[in-house]
């Protein structure tokens, strides 16, 4: 029902846009009509796909590295409050520095290839992942801990049976947010300096006044972001079967 409403709103906006562009004779390098953008999306599909794959790889690798850092970090922060207190200010600082300011530096340090973009995506993703997982661990009902304390359960037993599953809803909320913002990191990196990717393509097309192509790249980028978001949603439903069913 909601998706049908969203689709209707989108169609309405596109129709108004199409009519206005034609009525006002707006040049296509300023604002192309939706019909032209849709045509470009399909006619330039091979080029767009090639660049989308590069951006997707950057994001996925960034996501994997973030997971490899975030999960152990959240566990350590949870089990050692002193580490939590020591690391949290740095985590906050890492997010307070605008990624725009870091992008040129990372390109200088790690080059025009994939690496600088992967690091950029990692910086954007790892914060929401770490924070959401850590707060998920902390939100466990203390009465459950009593149950395991009576059994003299080790930390890892508690982690396996209690903390990890209890933190999953919060973790997936963070993961959804992370994949949604991950494109920002990767595309920013590509804007500053890259040889391929949707961000690189946007810069190239902007310089050639191919605004239709720029919009087409945006459409592909949005589709990719939406695809990743939906994939995480599917994983969430699979792993949180007990939560989904309770809601139903």
State the virtual CA torsion across 210, 215, 216, 218 in degrees, nearest 10.
130
CA distances from 205 to 28, 29, 40, 103, 110 (A): 13, 10, 12, 21, 25
SS3 224: helix
**Which residue, chain included where needed, has tokens 């009465």?**
143
The only residue of 144, 173, 181, 184 in contact with another protein, by rule CB under 8 A: 144
Task: Using the minimum distance from each CB to another protein, give the nearer residue, 50 or 149.
Answer: 149
The only residue of 19, 86, 149, 227 in contact with another protein, by rule CB under 8 A: 149
The only residue of 11, 13, 146, 235 in contact with another protein, by rule CB under 8 A: 146
10, 20 in Cβ contact below 8 A? no
Q: Work out whether 50 is an interface residue with another protein (CB under 8 A).
A: no
The only residue of 148, 181, 191, 219 in contact with another protein, by rule CB under 8 A: 148
Q: Work out whether 235 is an interface residue with another protein (CB under 8 A).
A: no
Task: Using the minimum distance from each CB to another protein, give the nearer residue, 35 or 154.
Answer: 154
Q: What is the helix (H) or strand (E) element at residue 102, kind and residue range?
A: helix 99-110
Residues written for the chain = 248
Closest CA to 225 of 175, 190, 177, 183: 183
Task: Using the minimum distance from each CB to another protein, give the nearer residue, 50 or 141.
Answer: 141
Task: Using the minimum distance from each CB to another protein, give the nearer residue, 3 or 248.
Answer: 248
155-194 binders of another protein (CB under 8 A): 157, 161-162, 165-166, 168
CB 79 to another protein: min, Å: 18
Q: Work out whether 238 is an interface residue with another protein (CB under 8 A).
A: no
Distance between CA atoms of 117 and 33, rounded to whole angstroms?
A: 32
CB 67 to another protein: min, Å: 20
Q: Work out whether 93 is an interface residue with another protein (CB under 8 A).
A: no
CA distances from 183 to 39, 52, 91 (A): 24, 11, 20
Q: Work out whether 246 is an interface residue with another protein (CB under 8 A).
A: yes
Task: Using the minimum distance from each CB to another protein, give the nearer residue, 89 or 142.
Answer: 142
Task: Using the minimum distance from each CB to another protein, give the nearer residue, 148 or 229.
Answer: 148
Task: Using the minimum distance from each CB to another protein, give the nearer residue, 89 or 143.
Answer: 143
Q: What is the CA radius of gyration of the chain?
A: 22
Residue-wise over 209-239: b if at least 16 C-beta within 10 A, else e? Answer: ebbbbbbbbeebbeebbeebeeebeeebeee
Using CB under 8 A as the criterion, which residues of the chain lie in contact with another protein when the complex forms?
Answer: 141, 143-144, 146-153, 157, 161-162, 165-166, 168, 242-243, 245-246
């Amino acid at each position: 029902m909601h998706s049908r409403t969203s689709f209707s709103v989108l169609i309405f906006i596109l129709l108004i846009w199409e009519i206005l562009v034609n009525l006002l004779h707006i040049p296509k390098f300023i604002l192309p009509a939706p019909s032209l953008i849709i045509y470009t999306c399909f006619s330039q599909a091979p080029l767009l796909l090639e660049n989308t794959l590069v951006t997707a790889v950057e994001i996925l690798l960034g996501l994997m590295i973030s997971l490899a850092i975030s999960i152990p970090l959240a566990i350590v922060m949870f089990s050692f409050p002193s580490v939590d207190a020591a690391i949290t200010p740095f985590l906050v600082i890492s997010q307070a520095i605008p990624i725009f300011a870091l992008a040129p530096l990372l390109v200088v340090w790690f080059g025009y290839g994939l690496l600088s973009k992967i690091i950029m995506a990692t910086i954007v993703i790892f914060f929401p992942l770490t924070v959401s997982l850590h707060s998920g661990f902390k939100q466990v009902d203390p009465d459950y801990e009593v149950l395991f304390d009576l059994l003299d359960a080790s930390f890892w037993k508690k982690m396996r049976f209690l903390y990890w599953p209890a933190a999953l809803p919060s973790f997936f909320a963070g993961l959804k947010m992370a994949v949604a913002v991950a494109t920002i990191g990767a595309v920013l990196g590509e804007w500053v300096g890259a040889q391929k990717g949707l961000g690189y393509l946007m810069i190239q097309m902007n310089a050639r006044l191919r605004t239709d192509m720029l919009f087409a790249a945006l459409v592909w980028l949005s589709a990719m972001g939406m695809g990743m978001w939906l994939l995480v949603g599917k994983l969430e439903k699979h792993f949180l079967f007990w939560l989904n069913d309770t809601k139903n």
